[in-house]
Amino acid sequence: MTSKKTPTKPVDFGTSFQELEKIISWFEGDEIDLDQGLKKFERGLELAQVCRTRLKEVENRVNELKVKFGELDN
Domain residue limits at 31: 15-68
What is the distance between the alpha carbons of residues 17 and 2, in angstroms, rounded to a whole number?
Answer: 29
> Which residues, including other chains, have CB under 8 Å from residue 27's CB and lie 6 or more apart?
37, 40, 41
Residue 70 pLDDT: 87
**How many domains does the chain fold into?**
1
Task: Using the predicted structure, report yes or no on whether residue 17 has a pLDDT greater than 80.
Answer: yes
pLDDT in tens, 22-56: 999 999 998 889 999 999 999 999 999 999 999 99
Report, as an integer, the average pLDDT of 55-72: 90
Asked if residues 55 and 20 have their Cβ atoms less than 8 Å apart, the reply is no
Q: Considering the domain boundaries, does residue 1 fall inside one? A: no
Cα 23 to its chain centre, rounded Å, is 13
Q: Considering the domain boundaries, does residue 8 fall inside one? A: no
Dihedral sign (CA 2, 7, 12, 17): positive
Q: Considering the domain boundaries, does residue 7 fall inside one? A: no
Q: What is the pTM of this model?
A: 0.73
What is the distance between the alpha carbons of residues 51 and 17, in angstroms, rounded to a whole number?
Answer: 7
Residue 72 pLDDT: 56
Residue 23 pLDDT: 96
